[in-house]
Structure 1
Amino acid sequence: MERGSRESFTRMGTLGIEEECFIVDERGRPTSGTDELVYEHDPPEILEGKLDHELFKFVIETQTPLIEDPQNARDALLEIRQALLTHAHDHGYDIAAAGLHPLAKWRELEHAEKPRYRAQLDRIQYPQHRNTTAGVHVHVGVDDADKAVWIANELRWYVPIMLALSANSPYWNGFDTGLESARAKIFEALPNTGMPTYFEDFDAFDRFERRMLETESINDRGELWYDVRPHTAHGTVELRTPDGQADPDIVMAFVEYAHALVEALAEDYEDGASGYAQTHRRELLDEHKWRAIRYGHDAALLDREMEGTLELGELVDRECERLGIDGIKDVYERDSGAEKQRRLLEEEGPDALCESLLLEGE
């Protein structure tokens, strides 16, 4: 029973970026390809140990190497993306990204044979059978286990800001859900997902993780799929909130925001701040997140005191000024991914929509 430990948390401010993407055919439609790209053909050297697949054979995952200096994050992301595109093109595929592929119909797509996923399908059944989601996960290193748990607690309020900005999945199983991020709602049907509860310290989280393993509620610690979690093997806080994105500038805006948040919260912890997390009811955090799922860029989210609402644009302005960043402001000022998808489908049709989701290479 593999578990992480307190000793994993040794480095502050490092980064790692995981992206889940879609394997598509020459027309941009989802197609099974992970057998060839992950198992049957050796990937470019930079992807060795950094390439895997998800539940469906059309969903593939990449991970950057450990990024010591945040200034190098963009180059690391682009190198991994280019290697994935080259690998896919060499074997007759292309790569797309969004929270959900708008033309993916889960009953028509193949599940992977990997024992881990077969066990999940058997245990979870329908919610996992239909889970065609894809997201962006950002890891930020933290140098103390208790600090990491405190930061993860505080980050729960920030999760919906990032989700609203990333909203890029209005379509699921071939129809318009009326949501801006249907991915988030589809994924929440799985156990151990969504907004986590408050943990007093690392020992409390460690007891929870151990209990879930010992009771066989999960098969490995990676099945704690909450929106934010301390990663007890990597020694990071992992933000798992954003929908997948084809545009690397949008991904990097979330990386910049996540890194700035963790660094700022680490300073608060070291200064002895009490924070807000203990006063935030999970029910209100769920409402906060629901508004992001439903309305995306047009959301009015709950304020830090959970007593009123603020428009997303106002929150973005405040966060950019407070943290000295600008990427999420640029994301907010553009059409959301969900808006763009709806407009393209209505005005230009499914071919244009599929083309818009393709990753661009050199």
Structure 2
Amino acid sequence: MDEMDFQASPRMSMGVELELQVLNTRDYNLTRGAPDLLRLLGKTPYKDLIKPEIAQSMIELNSSIHHRYDELLQELQDLRDEVTRQCGKLNLAVAGGGTHAFHQWSEQRIFDMPRFHQLSELYGYLAKQFVVFGQHVHLGCPNGDDAVYLVHMLSRHIPHFIVLSGSSPFSQGEDTAFHTARLNAINAFPLSGHMPFVQSWAEFRTFFERMKQFGVVSSMKDFYWDIRPKPGYGTVELRICDTPLTVGKAAALAAYAQALGQYYLTERPFQPSSDVYELYTYNRFQACRFGAQGNLIDPYTGQHTDIASDILASLQRVMPYAEQLQGQAGLKVLQREIEENASDTRWLRDTMAKEQSINDVVRHQARRWMTPAS
């Protein structure tokens, strides 16, 4: 089977990947605990849902395929609880958040797998600076043409997901003044950014084959785009989000992506246009730097608005589709956060102001992730 044959998936089925920080419980720095933690987790019923990542201080949680927000949330809670139990046996902790607040990239060690070593050899020190932590959301699509359409439509909402997931104001022990600093590490890679403007799966296959013939890529994994089609899974993969501080937020973000996808594939309110990419970098930066207060320019109308208002309008527009999919509770979590001017980034900064210790910020961050009530 050709890797670029698009494998149909049930429309708007969803799955989540979450990259987590593995911490010691002495000073809450990143630690090379992933191999031992994965060894213990390999003896549990969740062994196939928890995987290594590029560094020995990271693990990745993978949900199974879901159609409903509440079922996804329950599985993520179960995964969190199992990881927490196993961490207790090793005197480790795990945490969400898009960056670790004070680790030094030079201290990281690459996980012993061929692909990770290949990336390290190719990208040099960037591979260790790539020790950042994101959430990916997969949305099932019935065919490749729908996937291409959905990538273009969701690109309009990239600032929304940056703002709603933002949890990385600190890096290398400093406040970056960014709502999310994680994406600055990803921007350094030559194949980051967005998918080129193509209008069908056939056009995309032609583009991919050209890049492969040039030797630029060998598979879809080599594209670090904010959103990309995933033909082997039959999904569109949204890759822009920081890992939130709680599994509840992670499930809510997936519910929002699912409702947006259902809205666009049902109503088809716009024809794909390259216009969305003319303002893409500007809107993306505004979200990264200023969060909900950032300026957003609508690529279809040219109107300016603050990102918070645009998110609230979008949530209202797609709420009927969330109700059809039984995910409205997740959207209301996000709506309430925007209305209250709250965010994970603000929580981290407020914790720093209170504790006056970057180590204590990460300690509270880990506790927040690992607490069952979250």
Q: Report if TM-score (shorter chain) is over 0.5.
A: yes
The aligned residue for residue 18 of structure 2 is 19
Between the aligned partners of 1:245 and 1:312, the Cα distance in structure 2 is 19
Between the aligned partners of 1:199 and 1:211, the Cα distance in structure 2 is 14
Pairing 1:308–2:303 present: yes
* Equivalent residues of 1:254, 1:327 under 8 A apart: no
| Candidates 323, 346, 370, aligned match of 1:360 | 370
The aligned residue for residue 334 of structure 2 is 328
Distance 1:212 1:80, change over 3 A: farther
* Equivalent residues of 2:98, 2:244 under 8 A apart: yes
The aligned residue for residue 242 of structure 1 is 241
Percentage of matched positions with identical amino acids: 21
The aligned residue for residue 325 of structure 2 is none
Comparing 66-75 with 148-157, greater Cα deviation is found at 66-75
- Regions of 4+ moved over 4 Å: none
Between the aligned partners of 2:60 and 2:162, the Cα distance in structure 1 is 20
Between the aligned partners of 1:63 and 1:245, the Cα distance in structure 2 is 15
Compute the displacement of 1:43 (Å). 2.5
| Candidates 292, 298, 305, aligned match of 1:297 | 292
* Equivalent residues of 1:316, 1:328 under 8 A apart: no
Between the aligned partners of 2:47 and 2:32, the Cα distance in structure 1 is 21
Compute the displacement of 1:336 (Å). 2.2
CA distances 1:169-202 after superposition (whole Å, capped 9, x unpaired): 1112222222111101111111211232222111
Distance 1:82 1:42, change over 3 A: closer
Amino acid at match of 2:64: P
Q: Which structure 1 segments of 5+ residues have no match? A: none
* Equivalent residues of 1:140, 1:259 under 8 A apart: yes
Compute the displacement of 1:2 (Å). 7.3
Distance 1:240 1:208, change over 3 A: same
The aligned residue for residue 197 of structure 2 is 198
Between the aligned partners of 2:12 and 2:281, the Cα distance in structure 1 is 28
* Equivalent residues of 2:9, 2:235 under 8 A apart: no
Compute the displacement of 1:323 (Å). 1.0
CA distances 1:224-265 after superposition (whole Å, capped 9, x unpaired): 121111111111111111111122222122111100011111
| SS of corresponding position for 2:243 | coil
Pairing 1:153–2:155 present: no
| Candidates 338, 347, 355, aligned match of 2:345 | 338
CA distances 1:75-106 after superposition (whole Å, capped 9, x unpaired): 12111222222222222211111000102211
Amino acid at match of 1:305: Y
CA distances 1:339-361 after superposition (whole Å, capped 9, x unpaired): 22223223312233012221224
* Equivalent residues of 1:22, 1:97 under 8 A apart: yes
* Equivalent residues of 2:169, 2:345 under 8 A apart: yes
Provide TM-score, normalisation by structure 1.
Answer: 0.92
| SS of corresponding position for 2:30 | coil
Comparing 230-239 with 80-89, greater Cα deviation is found at 80-89
| SS of corresponding position for 2:240 | coil
The aligned residue for residue 32 of structure 1 is 32
Compute the displacement of 1:216 (Å). 3.1
The aligned residue for residue 319 of structure 1 is 314
Distance 1:10 1:112, change over 3 A: closer
Compute the displacement of 1:58 (Å). 0.6
Between the aligned partners of 1:46 and 1:226, the Cα distance in structure 2 is 32
The aligned residue for residue 170 of structure 2 is 171
Between the aligned partners of 1:281 and 1:69, the Cα distance in structure 2 is 30
Between the aligned partners of 2:254 and 2:72, the Cα distance in structure 1 is 8
CA distances 1:276-335 after superposition (whole Å, capped 9, x unpaired): x41425241111101001111221211242623111221122112111142321232252
Between the aligned partners of 1:37 and 1:210, the Cα distance in structure 2 is 39
Which runs of structure 2 are paired with 1:40-119 in the superposition (5 Å)?
40-119=39-118
| Candidates 281, 297, 302, aligned match of 1:286 | 281
Between the aligned partners of 1:56 and 1:115, the Cα distance in structure 2 is 13
Between the aligned partners of 1:44 and 1:330, the Cα distance in structure 2 is 39
Distance 1:246 1:46, change over 3 A: farther
The aligned residue for residue 212 of structure 2 is 213
Distance 1:112 1:244, change over 3 A: same
| SS of corresponding position for 1:267 | helix
Between the aligned partners of 2:21 and 2:180, the Cα distance in structure 1 is 17
RMSD: 2.0
Comparing 337-346 with 254-263, greater Cα deviation is found at 337-346
Number of residue pairs aligned between Structure 1 and Structure 2: 356
Between the aligned partners of 2:36 and 2:205, the Cα distance in structure 1 is 38
Amino acid at match of 2:337: V
Between the aligned partners of 2:94 and 2:207, the Cα distance in structure 1 is 37
Q: Which structure 2 segments of 5+ residues have no match? A: 320-330
* Equivalent residues of 1:2, 1:220 under 8 A apart: no
Distance 1:219 1:117, change over 3 A: farther
